[in-house]
Amino acid sequence: MNARAENILEVEKLITSFETDRGLLRAVDQVSFTVPAGKTVGIVGESGCGKSVTAMSIVRLLPQPAGKVLGGHVHFKGRDLLQAGEAEMRKVRGGDIGVIFQEPMSALNPVHRIGKQVAEVFRLHRRISKKEAWDASVEMLELMRIPAPQQRMMDYPHQLSGGMRQRIVIALALACRPALVIADEPTTALDVTVQAQILDLMARLQAEMGMSIILITHDLGVIAETCDEVVVMYAGRVVEKAPAAELFARPLHAYTKGLLNSIPTLETPSKSILSTIPGMVASLAEHTHGCRFCQRMGRTARDNRERPLFAEVSPGHWVETCPQCYQP
């Protein structure tokens, strides 16, 4: 079986840094993962661990001029996106790769009607008339299960609820039937009931269109319900990577275990003391070269100088094999 042919996206040793007054700070430090065709890969971690920077590096939407991809490869459809020119990237974004952002209000232009914004995607990526683009947009809104799509096309973003706006943003991302969708915290700003609607919608669209999804979230519940594979990031590095069922059943890295144990579930006894992860994510400038979770746990720098090896310890299950944090 040729594994390479099945992957729609392969990220290899990606390094992304930001230019700051304290020098060049590395936010993403040699991150590698693959996205199989038609599957959903979740990237999970606390704020500041580099999840979003990884995603934005793939589509080259880093804040400019500070953000720089300094190394690695992003293989997508037989080419390296990191080598592609700006004109080519513009075709890829919204064409082959759709992006769903967290805050639908800032992803939509407040002074243009919904219809114009959706139709624009079609006009940019396909050579079709205004009328055809309009009809395609109405069809897209119908696909998103938006009631009365003809009327919604005439609305401005502020006239819609949060859930409806997020549906529009998803419509924009999926308009050109992309092979890959990057969803950055798509439901974080929404109520659980609306979140359930949106996740259900995305699952149905995936079944229909067969696209792959990279889902970035800090919510392990959302990961468990939607993802085939999970990438756990900590302080700019991947510390563990496994199929979802395997990861939740057998977490091997101390950080993954810490995350899983700290969430109360409906089964946790009331008012019991929850387990916590002491300290917090170190700032980029303070990152050690050695194991960064050891750094958080306050283990001394002397026995923490080498970057732990990221190894496949059982089929498909990868983990940083730091002597302290790798806990099989």
Report the Cα 287 to chain-centroid distance in Å. 23
CB nearer to another protein: give 119 or 160: 160
- Using CB under 8 A as the binding rule, whether residue 84 contacts another protein is answered as no
Which tokens in the block code for residue 297?
């746990």
Bridge partners of 41?
214, 229
* SS3 of residue 103 by DSSP: coil
Q: Give the residue, chosen from 31, 136, 164, 202, that forms a contact with another protein under the rule CB under 8 A.
A: 164
CB nearer to another protein: give 88 or 191: 191
**Quick one: which segment of 23-31, 85-93, 169-177, 263-271 binds another protein (CB under 8 A)?**
263-271
Between CA 9 and CA 180 the distance in angstroms is 8
CB nearer to another protein: give 109 or 283: 283
> What number of chain residues touch another protein (CB under 8 A)?
47
**Quick one: which segment of 72-80, 166-174, 177-185, 242-250 binds another protein (CB under 8 A)?**
242-250
Indicate the DSSP class of residue 93.
Answer: B
Q: Give the residue, chosen from 265, 298, 302, 315, that forms a contact with another protein under the rule CB under 8 A.
A: 265
- Using CB under 8 A as the binding rule, whether residue 136 contacts another protein is answered as no
- Using CB under 8 A as the binding rule, whether residue 162 contacts another protein is answered as yes
CB nearer to another protein: give 250 or 305: 250
Bridge partners of 183?
100, 215
Phi and psi at residue 117, to the nearest 5°: -70, -35
- Using CB under 8 A as the binding rule, whether residue 111 contacts another protein is answered as no
Q: Give the residue, chosen from 148, 154, 274, 311, that forms a contact with another protein under the rule CB under 8 A.
A: 274
Q: Which of 187, 189, 213, 182 is nearest to 198 (CA)?
A: 187
Binding-site string for another protein from residue 171 to residue 210, where x marks contact by CB under 8 A and - marks none: --------------------xxxxxxx-xx----------
Q: Is the peptide bond before 243 cis (omega within 30 degrees of 0)?
A: no
CB nearer to another protein: give 98 or 258: 258
Q: Least distance (Å) from another protein to the CB of residue 191?
A: 4
- Using CB under 8 A as the binding rule, whether residue 156 contacts another protein is answered as no
> Rounded to whole angstroms, what are the CA distances from 264 to 138, 141, 231?
42, 37, 22
Range 262-270, long-range pairs (CB < 8 A, 24+ positions): 263/220, 263/221
Q: Give the residue, chosen from 106, 275, 314, 327, that forms a contact with another protein under the rule CB under 8 A.
A: 275
CB nearer to another protein: give 164 or 175: 164
- Using CB under 8 A as the binding rule, whether residue 273 contacts another protein is answered as yes
- Using CB under 8 A as the binding rule, whether residue 276 contacts another protein is answered as yes
Phi and psi at residue 198, to the nearest 5°: -70, -40
Q: Which of 98, 78, 318, 117 is nearest to 205 (CA)?
A: 98
Annotate 251-292 with DSSP letters as a single string. Answer: --BHHHHHHHHHS--TTSPTTPPPP---S-PPPGGG--SS-H
- Using CB under 8 A as the binding rule, whether residue 310 contacts another protein is answered as no
Binding-site string for another protein from residue 31 to residue 70, where x marks contact by CB under 8 A and - marks none: ---------------xx-----------------------
* In the block, residue with structure tokens 């790769």: 97
Q: How many CB atoms lie within 10 A of CB 279?
A: 11
Angle 196-202-203 (CA atoms, 0-180°, nearest 5)? 90
By the criterion CB under 8 A, which residues form the site for another protein? 46-47, 147, 161-164, 191-197, 199-200, 218-225, 227, 244-245, 248-249, 258-260, 262-266, 268, 270-277, 280
